[in-house]
Amino acid sequence: MKINFKHILFGSALLLAGQSCTDLTETTYDVIPTDQFGSTAAQQAALLGPLYSSLGDYFGRYAELNTVTDEQVIPTRGGDWKDGDAWKRLKEHNWTPTGDDDKFNGMWTWCYNSITSINQQLGNITEPATLAELRVLRAYYHYILLDHFRNIIIAEKVGGEVQTQKTGAETAAWIEKEIKESYPNLSATAGGAYYGRVNKYVANMILAKLYLNSEVYTGTARWADAKVQCDTVIASGKYVLSADFFSNFATQNQASKENILAVPYDASKRGGFNMNMRTLHYLSQLTYNTPQAPWNGYCTATEFYNSFAETDGRKKMWIVGQQYSSDGKLLTDDGKPFIFTPEIPAFEMPAGPVARLAGARSQKYEIQRNGASSDQDNDFVLFRLGDTYLMRAEANLRLGNTAAAIADVNIVRARADATPVTKLSLDDMLAERGWEMAWEYVRRQDLIRFGQFNKAWMFKPASPAFRNIFPIPSTQLSLNPNLKQNPGY
Write the pLDDT tens digit of every residue in 354-411: 999 999 999 999 999 999 999 999 999 999 999 999 999 999 999 999 999 999 999 9
Residues 6 or more apart whose CB falls under 8 angstroms from that of 400 comprise none
Q: How many domains does the chain have?
A: 2
Residue 434 counted as domain residue: no
pLDDT band at 41 (very low <50, low <70, confident <90, very high): low
Mean per-residue pLDDT over the chain, rounded: 92
Q: How far apart are CA 198 and CA 376, in angstroms?
A: 23
Task: Report the pLDDT value the prediction gives residue 304, as an integer from 0 to 100.
Answer: 98
Task: Report the pLDDT value the prediction gives residue 477, as an integer from 0 to 100.
Answer: 96
374 and 469 both lie in a single domain? no
pLDDT band at 163 (very low <50, low <70, confident <90, very high): confident
pLDDT at 16 over 60: no
pLDDT band at 37 (very low <50, low <70, confident <90, very high): low
pLDDT band at 30 (very low <50, low <70, confident <90, very high): very low
Residue 309 counted as domain residue: yes
| Residue-number span of the structural domain to which 359 is assigned | 275-378
156 and 52 both lie in a single domain? yes
Q: Radius of gyration of the chain from Cα atoms?
A: 24
DSSP 40: S
63 and 152 both lie in a single domain? yes
The residue out of 378, 402, 429 marking a domain boundary is 378
pLDDT digits (tens, 9 = 90+) for 51-77: 999 999 999 999 999 999 999 999 999
Are 7 and 49 in contact by the 8 Å Cβ rule? The answer is: yes
181 and 281 both lie in a single domain? no
Q: Measured over all CA atoms, what is the biggest interatomic distance in the chain, rounded to whole angstroms? A: 86
Task: Report the pLDDT value the prediction gives residue 20, as an integer from 0 to 100.
Answer: 33
Residue 199 counted as domain residue: no
Between 375 and 161, name the one with better pLDDT. 375
473 and 369 both lie in a single domain? no
| Sign of the torsion formed by the C-alpha atoms of 235, 236, 241 and 243 | positive
The residue out of 378, 401, 425 marking a domain boundary is 378
Task: Report the pLDDT value the prediction gives residue 50, as an integer from 0 to 100.
Answer: 85
* Angle of helix 200-212 versus helix 128-149 axis, rounded to 10: 20
Query: 381, 428, 379: which is closest to 402 by C-alpha?
Result: 428
Residue 262 counted as domain residue: no
pLDDT at 9 over 70: no
Task: Report the pLDDT value the prediction gives residue 46, as an integer from 0 to 100.
Answer: 76
Are 112 and 481 in contact by the 8 Å Cβ rule? The answer is: no
The residue out of 378, 398, 421 marking a domain boundary is 378
pLDDT digits (tens, 9 = 90+) for 105-159: 999 999 999 999 999 999 889 999 999 999 999 999 999 999 999 999 999 988 7
Task: Residue count of the chain, please give it.
Answer: 489
DSSP 151: S
Residue 467 counted as domain residue: yes
The count of other CB atoms within 10 Å of the CB of residue 388 is 26
